[in-house]
Amino acid sequence: MVPLNAYLIVAAGLFSIGMFAALARRNVIAILMGVELMLNAVNINLVAFWRFLTPATEASSGLKVGMSGQAFAAFVFVVAAAEVAVGLALIISMYRNRRTVIAEDVDTLRY
């Protein structure tokens, strides 16, 4: 059985990669992809914790088998889908108005 730690370290690595993409890339679409990677890392964590912790704690106390991890992962899916839909709509609109997809070129709010 692969231990919980292994999953958590993979998730941490994926999260860091996604964070780097979100911090350093210039293209907005690439930033969005980085955010997707981060959300997936979170999902790995949620499901791994559910798999390793929930049945041991809650089943023994006589409650119904908890589904928190999977349920939260499902909500992360929903959020990811909504985020991509709105984000890409913003990118298309930005490209149409400003002819650019570079994050630093859209800095009107700074002035």
Partner 1 sequence: MQNIDLIQWIAFVILSILVLGGGLLVVTDRNLFHGALWLLVSLFGVAGLFVMLSAPFLAAVQVLVYMGAIVILIIFAIMLTRRMMGIRESVNARWPIGLVMSALAFLVVSFILTLASSSQLLAYPANVAVQPDSLINFGKALVDTNQYALPFELASLLLTAALIGSIVIAREDG
What is the rounded distance in angstroms from the CA atom of residue 1 to the CA atom of residue 93? Answer: 48
Of 65, 106, 107, 109, the one binding partner 1 (CB under 8 A) is 65
Of 89, 106, 108, 109, the one binding partner 1 (CB under 8 A) is 89
Of 77, 106, 107, 110, the one binding partner 1 (CB under 8 A) is 77
Count of residues of this chain found to bind partner 1 when the rule CB under 8 A is applied? 76
What is the rounded distance in angstroms from the CA atom of residue 89 to the CA atom of residue 13? Answer: 29
- Least separation in angstroms between CB 94 and partner 1: 9
Q: Using the rule CB under 8 A, is 106 a contact of partner 1?
A: no
Give the CB-side neighbour count of residue 67, counting CA atoms within 13 A: 5
